[in-house]
Structure 1
């Protein structure tokens, strides 16, 4: 290996510097397009080998290890009159989810990847008339097991309100938390309130006709149609009938599904 000074002198003399080789690397990187070399876990005691079982068995073992996660996180607020801080409610945050699932997924060779994200934003206000930005994110996840096989793709949604630039990051964290707790079926015994709680002020709610116009718009992507279905379900508007592009009455649910199938080829 040449020193930094020697390589600098070679470059100053117009010579091609001798490449430095790091002793920390266990192997040289393969040429582009070629698979990575096999990694022998047995020769690396710091990285124990997970048992080679199908992904659904590995995920079941993760659930068996986690079992229960209590609501140990606290949402605190300050009393406007006394100035004293009090605990308004307890919840399970994303850190609780990662602390519970992180070691278990490593132990059983489970990897979790976000393979697709669809986002939407709107401006709103809090109950104190502060300007807020609402971020809604629908994420598609891949859960891969130690043998390289995967569970069917899963979806989860996250929503947040923020006055700065952290809305998307918060929504991503909430989507991951929802995936881990819901797919893991980890109980608490109590309904979970929102971790990042902001009281909403008066904000205009989208109408059925507004959603109708967005659904039939040919520029609306299939991913956005999926998200509209999620929004309509939360607003309990799926059953509302509207006049479709042909003038016939159709529920928003049926209208959205039909256009989604037409744009993805599912209706052919």
Structure 2
């Protein structure tokens, strides 16, 4: 009798019984406990909604952050949205809606440089990885990455760069507008002359040296800037629409054989 038969006989079983006995299930799945199972909402607790809805509520409440801070130094002047302003705006709103923004990774690069005034500076460039957690403990399906860079003469370059990366996350992840005037609405191409008056065009049209090609260009320009029908005082001291005046002078020069 072999070892297996002896063991089975000692236990009062046969090998046939061992063969027919179902194997023990050692891979039974045990679900993780639900962290919200015993949750009882408090008076100030946020609504238990998925993270994407909670973040949407944050965005709807923040709405916009204007560029209310002014940098004026080194010959440079511009308005901006500072880190403190952005965090002070988002902080209470994310708290209200139960949204946590957690740094879960940082990669940093450093180099030494010198300021314009000759001060030794330390420059840090960081890539921050963030996770946004909602009130129910769920997270966005992807991690978010932003970058920041900063200079400091002591040991604060890394902290400053991380703060910049946080500001970038909140403004870009929140699609946070400024509600400032669109700079393109007042953009003037460099080298472009200021808009001329109808009287200026009248004087140029009257000059004997103004060529027929230039008169054709003037016709285009006054239509573009909307003064084609503006009345001017002509050479006879009468009022005449600028477009009609231009056409008449042009015809006179053609009949007179002008250039």
TM-score, with length taken from structure 1: 0.50
**Higher deviation after alignment, 58-67 or 89-98:** 89-98
Counterparts of 1:3-152 in structure 2, within 5 Å, are 40-42=40-42, 45=43, 48-77=44-73, 88-151=77-140, 152=142
Q: Distance in 2 between matches of 1:38 and 1:129?
A: 62
Residue matched to 1:213:
none
Which residue number in structure 2 is paired with residue 175 of structure 1? Answer: 165
Deviations 1:212-239 (A, max 9, x none): xxxxxxxxxxxxxxxxxxxxxxxxxxxx
Post-superposition offset of 1:37: 11
Q: 1:53 to 1:113 in 2, by over 3 A?
A: same
Alpha-carbon displacement from aligned partner over 1:5-36 (angstroms, at most 9, x marks no partner)? xxxxxxxxxxxxxxxxxxxxxxxxxxxxxx89
Higher Cα Rg, which structure: 2
Deviation at 1:98, TM superposition (A): 1.1
Q: Partners of 1:39 and 1:125 in 2: how far apart? A: 56
Name structure 1 gaps, 5 residues minimum.
1-34, 80-86, 192-268
**1:128, 1:110 → 2: CA distance?**
43
Secondary structure in 2 matching 1:61? helix
Unmatched segments (≥5 aa) in structure 2: 1-34, 183-259
* Offset of residue 145 of structure 1: 0.4
Superposition TM-score, scaled by structure 2 size: 0.52
- Work out the CA distance in 2 between the residues paired with 1:111 and 1:70: 24
Q: How does 1:204-215 map to 2 (within 5 A)?
A: none
Separation (CA, whole Å) in 2 of partners of 1:73 and 1:163: 23
Matches of 2:113 and 2:79, distance apart in 1: 26
- Corresponding residue pairs, total: 146
2:175 to 165, 169, 185: 185
Partner of 1:162: 152
Partner Cα separation in structure 2 for residue 38 and residue 139 of structure 1: 35
CA RMSD of aligned residues (A): 2.5
- The aligned residue for residue 143 of structure 2 is 153
Partners of 1:135 and 1:65 in 2: CA distance: 33
Structure 1 residue 100, shift from structure 2 partner: 1.2
Change in 2 beyond 3 A, CA 1:61/1:182: same
Q: What is the distance in 2 between the residues matched to 1:77 and 1:123?
A: 22
Question: C-alpha deviations, 1:56-94, integer Å up to 9, x for none?
Answer: 111011000001001112224388xxxxxxx92221011
Q: Secondary structure at the match of 2:173?
A: helix
